Amino acid sequence: MKKAALCWLRVYMSEKEKVSSISGIRVKGLLVEKGVRISKNQNVDEISSRGYGVAENNELLLTFYEALYLLGKGFLEVEDEKGKKVDF
């Protein structure tokens, strides 16, 4: 197998491990200007320990692409400031 293919496979497998390790977790996030904010009173340690998001002001801030990925996998629900569900 070529080096590039092996590198892609390694990245793909590590991503699968990250996702399988957070299965069963469901959190709600708030859509903000910088991304999606998750309050610390939810079970975000499991998500942040897998490399998702950045701690900011005692909360976890996900980038838009992280939120989109986790939303697609069913681990995240996103709401806007009015409490309306956001679907990408």
Average pLDDT of every residue of the chain: 79
Q: If pLDDT is split at 50, 70 and 90, which confidence band does 3 have?
A: low
* Residue 70: pLDDT over 90: yes
Is the model's pTM score more than 0.85?
no
CA 66, CA 83: separation in Å to the nearest integer? 20
| Rounded average pLDDT over 19-47 | 81
Residues 46-68: pLDDT tens digits?
888 889 999 888 899 999 999 99
- What is the Cα 4 distance to its own chain's centre? 26
**Hey, what amino acid is at 35?**
G
Domains and CATH numbers, the chain: 3-86 (3.40.1170.20)
Provide the β-strand partners of residue 38: 60
